[in-house]
Each structure stands twice: as structure tokens, then as C-alpha cells.
Amino acid sequence: MNKPKHECGVFAVYGHPNAAILAYYGLFALQHRGQESAGIVTSDGSGKAFQSFKGMGLVGQVFTMKDLEEINGPRAIGHVRYSTTGSSNLKNAQPFLVDTARGQIAIAHNGNLVNAAQLRIELEAEGSIFQTTVDSEIALHLLAKAPDSGNPITSLRRLEGAFSMVIMGENELIGVRDPYGFRPLVLGRVDGAYVLSSETCAFDLIHAEFIREIEPGEVVIIDDDGIRSEWPFRRAKKSFCIFEYVYFARPDSNIDDMNVKEVRVQMGRELARLHPVEADIVVPVPDSGIYAALGFSEELGIPFDLAFVRNHYIGRTFIQPSQLVRDFNVRVKLNLIGEAVRGKRVVVIDDSIVRGTTARSRVVNLREAGAKEVHVRISCPPHKHACYYGIDFPDPEKLLANQMTREEICEYLGADSLGYLEVESMVRATGLPKQNFCMACFDGEYPLPYDEAFDKHVMENRRDRARLLPPPLQPGLFADPKLS
């Protein structure tokens, strides 16, 4: 893996005659957030007949129009998945749908729970039987086991970590965003129906009007009486993932009233001010480096050129080449127009360096094509730490910046110079306060602790889980008399 992997995308509709078809298009727009599997669960509105359709692959491969017509109904939730926990197979594809004493419940989750192992042990000790290895299933068990008296939403207080979720019950659609607000979740309307989505770009596709973001810690409940909010979680410091602006989110999405493309252009400008260079041409690594390269080019008045051409038609079936021909892997995804760079001093702009092998190949490509100089500029700070909140980085010892100084990285890449954006300038480019963000993979300051060793141990010793049961949670730990 040479790029951090996107996590997941969620989409939901309440009260539209073509809910499944809207969900399909919504998931299409969110495809960049997960390409392993896609699924939609619909409800016919009576609350009883839930229907589920899931498959491995891209949205366009999983569903046919016939499937969508068969599962159509006025309510739907959908999911595209990249596995950050649990293996990649159909059993782990979402949304999950279960029959409970409360009726049917379906759930789709974007994020990663940091207390999944502990909750799983506790729930299994209480008799819960898990169908998957995915942490998202925990929320279903908590809801299913919530006492009849009281509000089942309060059972979600036990979740810790990153979670933007959509949940469909027999009578309602629920949107949940964790109190740190790690992942985005937005609310919109189309033809009188409510829609929830990971990103606003999905609203554009279905002509939905953006209403607002779901706030960190907010639970919205949509039913035939309208929409209302609850706030069941303890308050936490807002910690939105800044890497959504750098790389994950689509450039045509808006987050916190800031357009992602504009933020990326601004990051490119900041990068140019920090690390100016005399050059003949600015070349982005497409697609996510394009806007930062535009900003860099504008700021320094150096011409911009799309010298790398991306092949957009590589499906899941692409066979990874052998060691002997591994360079094909790089070239099949991105080919260089040699004539564009020959004899020139080139600045190549990318959004991040993870392991560095791809970045190194790009520099080799440019040199082989006859570039006179190659200057590498990266539109975020060096990645040195793991992410526990839903982004799949490799182990820190495989992160290039964790193992080498900048001078060593520059030498390893074979570049004439190397410059990264710094934390302060990255934040400035968003136009938002620094305290809004999680930047743990850059600065190591984790908003929420995670015991990785415990988690790994539990998952590797499934038969002994009961023995690993930690002391019970203190009663009343999250007690909030308003929500009893």
C-alpha cells in the first residue's frame, strides 16, 4: 500500500418513493471512500419488510437497475466499504441487518471504534453472538440489548472512537456522529425527503439541498413526525480528521463551510511560500495532487501541466505484478508524457508520502524521461504516526517519515529537493481553528487513547476472550439524568 486507504462512506434516505435509486447514486458519488464492497438496505415504510442487497466490488458492479427496482421503498441506507477492521469478504460488507426483539435494525458505519475489543468481550460474555469481525456490529448489539424502558440511543454511549453512522429502525432513520466528530456526516433534503451522507458531493448528484452538518456528538432521529436531535454522549474536544481536506474527501465536497478543492489550492499556495523553487513546470500526481499543484503554480507563476496521465479503468481484478515487473504496477496506474518534462526543471506535487516506493518511482520516471531537475513538494506534513480513527496507514515503522530524516527521504527519492507543508500552514489553509482538528498521524497527539496491543491480543485469542474480560464499567460512568 503506497497511499493511505479511504475508510467508508454512508448514505441514507427517508421518505422518497425511489429511496434505493437515490442511495445508489449517493453511493456512486461516495465511491472514493471505499471500493471493496457496496450495499443497500431498504424498508417499504410499513417498518416490517427490510430488504438487503450487498456485493463485493464497485457500486456499478454490485447493483443492476433490476435489483434496485426490486428492493425499492421509501427508506434506504447504503454503504461503500474499505476494510480498516475485519477482513474483506461479503460477510463483512455493510449495511448489517438484524432481527431483534425491537424489530429489524440496519446499520452502516464510517470510522473505527477504539474500545471494540473490550465491548466485544463484554457483549459475548453477556450472550451476544457476532456474525462478523467488524467493529460496526457492536453498535447493533448495543441497540438490540438496550432495556425496553428508556431510550435505546443511550446504549450508544458505550462506543468510543470514530463513528459516523446511519441506522434504520422500523419506524425511523437515525444519524449518529461521535462526539469528536472525526468523520463527516451531513443532512440534506430532496423532494421533501431527508437524506444523510458522508459528503455533500453526493447531494449534488441527486439534486438534494444541503441543510447542515450533523454536529459532533449529535444524534438526529427522522420519522414521520419530522426530525429531532438528541445529545447522548459526553462532550469531547472537536477533532475532525484534517486529512479529509488533504486527501480523502472529494474536491467538490464542502466540509465546515469550506470547499475541499479551495482548501487544497490554498495548501498549494502555502507550500509554495514555504518551499519556493526556480522551475519550468509544476506537475501534479493526479488526482488528489491536482489542486495543490494549481495553487503552487499560481503562487510562484510557474506553468502547470498534467504530465502524468491516470488510468481510471483499473478494477479490482487488476493482477498485482510479480517482483520482476513491479514497476508495471506504477506505470499502469499513472503514465508520464515524456515530451512534457524533457529538458525541464520539474516540481512534482503529491498529497502525501506513505511508504515512499511510489514517490520514488515517479522521480525515476521523470529522470528517465529527461527531466533536468526534479523537486518534490508534498501538500501535508510528514506522516509519522498510526491512525486509530478509521484510516488505514501501514505500521509506523513502514512510514517513510517515521524512519528517515527529510534529507534521507530526499536522497531515497532521488530528488533534487523535497519540501513538506507544515502543521501551521496546513491548518491556515483550511481557514479554521487548529483546535477543530485531529492531526495525530502528523503530530502524535491522539485525541482519544487506543490500546492497540490489547485489541490485537483479543482478536488473536478469540477462545480466551471470556478470561480477558476487564472489570465491569463503573455504573453511572456516563450517567446523565436528562437521558434516563
| Contact footprint for ligand SF4 (CB under 6 A) | 182, 241-243, 387, 389, 391, 438-441
- As measured in angstroms, the least distance from the Cβ of 415 to ligand SF4 is 24
Helix axes 116-125, 137-145, angle to 10 degrees: 40
SS3 363: helix
Catalytic residue among 8, 201, 380, 410: 8
The H helix count followed by the E strand count for the chain is: 17, 23
Report the residue number, 308 or 393, with the smaller CB distance to ligand SF4. 393
Q: In what order do the strands lie in the sheet with 345-350?
A: 281-284, 345-350, 373-378, 417-420
SS3 226: strand
* CA neighbor of 142 nearest in space, from 167, 177, 179: 167
Q: b/e map of 43-75 (b: 16 or more CB within 10 Å)?
A: bebeeeebbbbbebbbbeebbeeebbeebbbbb
- As measured in angstroms, the least distance from the Cβ of 246 to ligand SF4 is 9
SS3 241: strand
- As measured in angstroms, the least distance from the Cβ of 358 to ligand SF4 is 18
- 471-479 long-range contacts, Cβ below 8 Å, gap at least 24? 472/122, 473/158, 478/157, 478/158, 478/233, 478/234
- As measured in angstroms, the least distance from the Cβ of 256 to ligand SF4 is 14
Q: At a CB cut-off of 8 Å and minimum separation 6, what does 482 contact?
A: none
- Give CA–CA dist 156/179, Å, rounded: 11
Report the residue number, 11 or 180, with the smaller CB distance to ligand SF4. 180
Report the residue number, 96 or 388, with the smaller CB distance to ligand SF4. 388
- As measured in angstroms, the least distance from the Cβ of 389 to ligand SF4 is 4
SS3 140: helix
Report the residue number, 159 or 440, with the smaller CB distance to ligand SF4. 440
- As measured in angstroms, the least distance from the Cβ of 274 to ligand SF4 is 20
Report the residue number, 7 or 305, with the smaller CB distance to ligand SF4. 7
Element of type H or E holding 138: helix 137-145
- Using the Cα atoms of residue 123, residue 128, residue 130 and residue 136 in order, give the sign of their dihedral: negative
For 454, the grid coordinates are: 490489547
- As measured in angstroms, the least distance from the Cβ of 233 to ligand SF4 is 18
8 is annotated as an active-site residue:
yes
319 CB neighbour count, 10 Å cutoff: 7
Report the residue number, 353 or 440, with the smaller CB distance to ligand SF4. 440
Report the residue number, 25 or 389, with the smaller CB distance to ligand SF4. 389
Q: b/e map of 218-233 (b: 16 or more CB within 10 Å)?
A: bbbbbeeeebeebbbb
Residues involved in catalysis: 8
